[in-house]
Amino acid sequence: MSDISIAIVEDQPLMMTALTTFLSTPTDFKIVAFGATAADMIRLARFHVPRLMILSPSVPDETYDAIRTIRNVLPAIKIVAYTSQHGVDHAVRALDAGAHGYVLKRSSADELMAAVRAVLKDETYITQGFAVRVIDALRNTDVRHRVAEAIKLSQREGQIVRLLLRGMTNKEIAATLRITEKTVKHYMTELMQKMQARNRVEVIIAAQRMSEYRLQSLDA
């Protein structure tokens, strides 16, 4: 199997060093290029045509324009925006421009690696717990569908969400799924974290927003 070529564009030297070290660890990854500006993004994409680009949008407007240019000229390149820009509007603009992943720098190293692996498999990845808010703000239906798919629910979580949407209580859900009520409460806590919900009602509201795009396949 050939190496997966990666280009990194990051204007903070310490972060560049950390990313390079981290992404050099997997034996199937090969770092082929480095840059620091939006102009570098386009230049490196055209010269190296890497499989994946990790882009840090320190100047958001220029970065989103660069992402759009790369996607138009070299659509096979996968792009992950790795950023401290945690506003929903920034995520929407990056995804509308064509980014396949949007990972906040506050995320763990494991989550960054999960994003890279997901994007390389033609999936969309958004920092967990952030994606539901992004779905609401997206205007592009195709992108909205991709982001909804990026909210990772386990089979059991999907079952619980469906039963919640039917108006069942925790006790009724437990009886239906033949699990304990304590287990249902555990999954509710997990769902609240993933959906950035503060309570049961907000989980249901978030699930309703997702239902058109994501839930059809969860109880197969």
Average pLDDT of adjacent 10-residue blocks, the chain of 220 residues: 88 93 92 94 96 86 91 94 86 87 91 92 82 71 66 85 84 93 92 78 72 48
Measured distance CA(101)–CA(103) in Å, rounded: 6
Q: 103, 119, 150 — which closes off a domain?
A: 150
33, 34, 63, 151, 210 from 206: Cα distances, Å: 40, 39, 30, 11, 6
pTM, two decimals, is: 0.67
- How many domains does the chain contain in total? 2
pLDDT attached to residue 89:
84
Q: Are residues 95 and 20 in the same domain?
A: yes
pLDDT attached to residue 217:
44
Which residues form the domain of 130?
4-150
CATH number of the CATH domain containing 194: 1.10.10.10
